[in-house]
Amino acid sequence: MAAARYNSRSPAVKRLLREAAELHEPTYNYYAQPLEENLFEWHFTIRGPEDTVFENGIYHGRIVLPPEYPMKPPNVIFMTPNGRFELHKKICLSISGYHPETWRPSWSIRTALLAMIGFMPTHGNGAIGSLDYTDQERSVLTKRSVDFKCKTCGATKDLLLDKSDDQGEEQEEIKKYSSQLTTSKPSGNDSSEQATDKNDNETAASPDEESSEALPVATPEETNPLADGKIEENAEEDVEVVEEDVVEISRPRRENDFASFFLMWFLILAISFIIYRRLNKSYGIDLVQLADQYLTSLMP
């Protein structure tokens, strides 16, 4: 990938180059890299989630990133037939329980991939690009999916690791992200709405169920980045306060040093003067006279 072709000062370019480096190695569950000729288009491969009809499936697709990324979410487009997502159609990701346009810049392509894995067994609920195939139809597609070949990437089943150490951790993340992210709802009349019509009766309660489930899950996580931000802000403030304190402490300290030095010499002189006056008064000793006599005695 020729990074020089892109404006390296663009936040999107910087961010995507960093993510490409971070995702350079495939894992058990996912792999994604930008195309040689376009940093804003990636190809991804994900493994079907365990204990579902998609288990042992390997799914390939494209991720198209908006120029405003990471301020705007990536679009995910499936290429491997799977029965859950329509092929060659943009699936826009957003945070569940929030306006579809909301997307946290702290989310990443990796987050999106983990969420997509978690979404596979969920109901489409009329989201753009959703399909509600039967389990039978899906399992047929799952078996076929391992033979999928991408024109650019080749046999997609070879792109993922057979196993990896952080497999368990990834499973946890898949659950976490798929409960917080959602695919956006259709904005107008969309062909995908027809697909959910037959589903409306059996899942009549599910949109409410989902939103009531999704909100409490999403809320703590949604507030977490904010809380993190506050902690960071506070931490910065603390540092500033500490610095200010140091400055404030050190400045009076220097003045104090000078004042005590002056006071010390003033006291020494004052005490000397008092002793001199005392000697002079009590014993009539005149130090000046004594000194004068001493000096004259030295003279030849």
Catalytic residues, by residue number, are 92
Q: Which residues of the shown chain bind Zn ion in the complex (CB under 5 A)?
A: 43, 150, 152-153
Q: What is the DSSP letter of 72?
A: S
- Rounded distance, CA 47 to CA 59, Å? 6
Contact yes or no for 180/221 (Cβ under 8 A): yes
- Rounded distance, CA 248 to CA 172, Å? 49
Backbone angles phi, psi at 24, to 5 degrees: -60, -35
CB of 61 to Zn ion, least distance (A): 8
- Rounded distance, CA 241 to CA 298, Å? 66
CB of 150 to Zn ion, least distance (A): 3
> Max alpha carbon distance in the chain (Å)?
132
Instruction: Using only the alpha carbons of the chain, give its radius of gyration.
Output: 37
CB of 153 to Zn ion, least distance (A): 3
- Rounded distance, CA 229 to CA 243, Å? 21
Nearer to Zn ion among residue 1 and residue 279 (C-beta): 1
Nearer to Zn ion among residue 13 and residue 32 (C-beta): 32
CB of 87 to Zn ion, least distance (A): 13
Nearer to Zn ion among residue 127 and residue 153 (C-beta): 153
Characterize 83-95 residue by residue with b for buried, 16 or more Cβ atoms within 10 angstroms of its Cβ, and e for exposed: bbbbeebebbbbb
Nearer to Zn ion among residue 156 and residue 178 (C-beta): 156
